Structure 1
Amino acid sequence: MNPHSSQHNQGASSATHAHPKVVCIMGPTASGKTALAIELAKQIDGEVISVDSALIYKDMDIGTAKPDADEMQGIEHHLIDILTPDLPYSVADFYKDAVECIEKIHNKGKTPILAGGTMMYFNALHHGISDIPGSNYEVRQNVQQMIENEGLEQVHSKLAQVDPQSAARIHPNDPQRITRAMEVYLSTGKSLTSWQNQKRPSLPYQFINVALMTENRAYLHQRIALRFQQMVEKGLISEVKHILKTYKVNPDLPSMRSVGYRQVIQHLAGEFDESLMIERGIIATRQLAKRQITWLRGWENTQILDIESTNNLELLLQKICVTE
């Protein structure tokens, strides 16, 4: 999905100071977004909205680095612990929930601070979202049966015939996204691409965007490795065991595809030992960070803050003041 769009450019140029502010703190995993959001909220009477596809899930605390009550420091947080791990949550779900939270916070006379690293969620708020129909269980089951009978490669080829743009964008070894694209086509008669091209109008907000980044990739990798090690020490494996015992989850659910959880599930299934699980978890987290950084480099109207800097709060407050 391309962050550059004519809609976004129009929205940016037509943004007026009459539009209520929404602060967006973006960045790769382990860059300190939540901590900065909490410090900012204390300064500007704000509330934090999580933009994280894993923090929405209950009982997924250690592997998501979910802030606890002490870390929140009395600041109201939204879109954390709203679902159990056995339930899916879409970009459309986030869009609806986030807009409701933004309106609620503005109505209190406070400032919403969106903080997280799920770039598809930020993209939906900034550029609009299409009214793609929700999942159709029966059709989805049929597509999954088709994959089982004919093979993933064959179903990807079929997708290329009815929706070449989606097929070009989706990796032939990505069963989740292939299934979704085929499901949309078979249940609506329209390709996923055509649905995605029908965008809702831009939201009437003045987005103030900052991204926590670093040119020192080794420093970020060090933070990622340390944090993953700490997660394991705090009981990540026990947390995953509890989830597997408590909920009807499987490795294909969005919650269990989260970095860290996927590797622990594979470890518990006997695919590899704990040391290799840690190594793979760290590598997967690095890859996630790389994707997030690539996306952010193409983001317009965004001030870059160095994650190693000690005055990011002051810089962010200056940026907000400039837009008064």
Structure 2
Amino acid sequence: MASPSSSFRPQPSQASPPVALIAGPTASGKSALAVALAQIVPNAVVINADASQVYADLAILSARPTEDEMAGIPHRLFGCIDGAEAYNAARWAADATAEIADAHAAGALPILVGGTGLYMSTLLFGIAPVPEIDPGIRAAVRAMEVADAHAALAQHDPAAAARLHPADTTRVARALEVVRSTGRPLADWHGAREGGIADTIALTPLILLPPRDWLRERCDRRLEMMFDAGAIDEAEALLARGLDPDLPAMRAIGVPQIARHLAGEIDRAEALTLAQAATRQYLKRQSTWFRNQPPADWPRHETSLSIDNIDELAIILRDSLLTR
């Protein structure tokens, strides 16, 4: 691909306040790049856009930046939500909007960083005005076996079933409960999005999409390090709270696999292997989303990262922001 600098352009005008966005799949180097950028602009705040890193209970399993990795840069919306809460994209978008406004009021550059595409889409382009789902329908859908839910979705919303992998339990259940409760496919509701801040800011985005094999290796190694660094103890503490297993924090990668290990169903090595497999599946979904869903003019950086090219990319981002 061409140098990312050739793709950046103001959105929508020079008068709009700047926001940087660094997005991409897990383990792609987003956090390191965000800090590198923050270190070379006059004033910056890093704002989390990752659905797992918001949870206080998942410091290790979400790969939340440590104090050393934050390098003294202010970080917002990291580890701020209790695992007992069902945090979602709409709440995050409201919280992120407030953090962006606070940063601008303080003369700071907001740097959004994360891998949750739904969060970013909701913040920038608005949220679908889906009515409240009937609780009975929701409970029935969530109680279904994965294969049965996908088969039912294929009957009610064939386009969504064709788009969603049967193992993507969260999105399959969401699509099915929406069409059953409202009589309209989720895609119809998405076409009527409301809100979004994209027209009020000057966005400088960059999507990191390193080679898949490079990412898989990094993810496998990182999970090994997590298990060695106390991930099992972290998951055990969360499980000991007796929370609803359908809560997002309880379904975070690593937690269900460690739960089986702690229950004596599998050993530590198998729990690690299963968590690595789940991460690779998640990585595939993320990569597909970031290749196809964001606007076509958002630049994609498709080479693996090193210390040298992280610094180079940070300089490109800084220069693009300062020349708006």
Task: Measure how far apart 1:108 and its partner are.
Answer: 1.3
Which ranges of structure 2 fall in alignment gaps of 5 or more residues?
A: 1-8
Give, in whole Å, the separation in 2 of the partners of 1:213 and 1:157. Answer: 32
TM-score by length of 2: 0.82
Give, in whole Å, the separation in 2 of the partners of 1:129 and 1:73. Answer: 34
4+ residue stretches of structure 1 with deviation over 6 A?
Answer: none
The structure 2 residue matched to 1:282, chosen from 267, 273, 276, is 276
State the match for 1:114 in structure 2.
112
Give, in whole Å, the separation in 2 of the partners of 1:185 and 1:246. Answer: 34
Task: Measure how far apart 1:171 and its partner are.
Answer: 4.1
Higher deviation after alignment, 13-22 or 39-48 = 13-22
The structure 1 residue matched to 2:239, chosen from 235, 244, 251, is 244
The structure 2 residue matched to 1:26, chosen from 20, 23, 26, is 23
Give CA deviations for 1:106-163 in whole Å, capped at 9, x if unaligned: 1211111011111222233344321224555454224446x3xxx6655555544544
State the match for 2:94 in structure 1.
96
Task: Measure how far apart 1:57 and its partner are.
Answer: 0.9
Report if aligned partners of 1:209, 1:302 keep a CA contact under 8 Å in 2.
Answer: yes
Give, in whole Å, the separation in 1 of the partners of 2:215 and 2:69. Answer: 21
Helix, strand or coil: the match of 2:57?
coil
1:256 aligns with 2:253: no
State the match for 1:124 in structure 2.
122
Task: Measure how far apart 1:285 and its partner are.
Answer: 2.0
Percent same amino acid among aligned pairs? 36
Report if aligned partners of 2:93, 2:119 keep a CA contact under 8 Å in 1.
Answer: yes
- How do 1:130-209 residues align onto structure 2 when only pairs under 5 Å count? 130-134=128-132, 136-144=134-142, 147=144, 156-172=150-166, 174-200=168-194, 202=196, 203=198, 204-209=200-205
State the match for 1:57 in structure 2.
55
Task: Measure how far apart 1:257 and its partner are.
Answer: 2.2
Give, in whole Å, the separation in 2 of the partners of 1:156 and 1:97. Answer: 33
Task: Measure how far apart 1:78 and its partner are.
Answer: 1.5
Give, in whole Å, the separation in 1 of the partners of 2:228 and 2:267. Answer: 15
The structure 1 residue matched to 2:224, chosen from 210, 225, 229, is 229
State the match for 1:6 in structure 2.
none
Helix, strand or coil: the match of 1:114?
strand
Give, in whole Å, the separation in 2 of the partners of 1:30 and 1:66. Answer: 11
Report if aligned partners of 1:209, 1:303 keep a CA contact under 8 Å in 2.
Answer: no
Give CA deviations for 1:86-111 in whole Å, capped at 9, x if unaligned: 32222222222222221221121111
TM-score by length of 1: 0.82
Higher deviation after alignment, 225-234 or 284-293 = 284-293
Give, in whole Å, the separation in 2 of the partners of 1:154 and 1:279. Answer: 26
1:266 aligns with 2:263: no
Report if aligned partners of 1:46, 1:110 keep a CA contact under 8 Å in 2.
Answer: yes
- How do 1:285-324 residues align onto structure 2 when only pairs under 5 Å count? 285-298=279-292, 299=294, 300=296, 301-304=298-301, 306-308=304-306, 310-322=308-320, 323-324=323-324
Q: Which amino acid aligns with 2:215?
A: L
State the match for 2:33 in structure 1.
36
Task: Measure how far apart 1:198 and its partner are.
Answer: 0.6
Give CA deviations for 1:36-79 in whole Å, capped at 9, x if unaligned: 21232232211011111101111211111112333323322122
Aligned length: 307
Report if aligned partners of 2:45, 2:111 keep a CA contact under 8 Å in 1.
Answer: yes
Report if aligned partners of 1:129, 1:199 keep a CA contact under 8 Å in 2.
Answer: yes
State the match for 1:3 in structure 2.
none
Give, in whole Å, the separation in 1 of the partners of 2:219 and 2:300. Answer: 23
Task: Measure how far apart 1:14 and its partner are.
Answer: 6.0
Task: Measure how far apart 1:231 and its partner are.
Answer: 0.7
| CA pair 185-244 structure 1, distance change in 2 beyond 3 A | same
State the match for 2:4 in structure 1.
none
Give, in whole Å, the separation in 2 of the partners of 1:135 and 1:79. Answer: 28
Q: Which amino acid aligns with 2:34?
A: A
Helix, strand or coil: the match of 2:53?
coil
Give, in whole Å, the separation in 1 of the partners of 2:291 and 2:175. Answer: 27
Task: Measure how far apart 1:306 and its partner are.
Answer: 3.8
Helix, strand or coil: the match of 2:130?
coil
Give, in whole Å, the separation in 2 of the partners of 1:275 and 1:155. Answer: 31
Which ranges of structure 1 fall in alignment gaps of 5 or more residues?
A: 1-11
Give, in whole Å, the separation in 1 of the partners of 2:169 and 2:218. Answer: 31
State the match for 2:6 in structure 1.
none
Report if aligned partners of 1:208, 1:320 keep a CA contact under 8 Å in 2.
Answer: no
Report if aligned partners of 1:210, 1:316 keep a CA contact under 8 Å in 2.
Answer: no
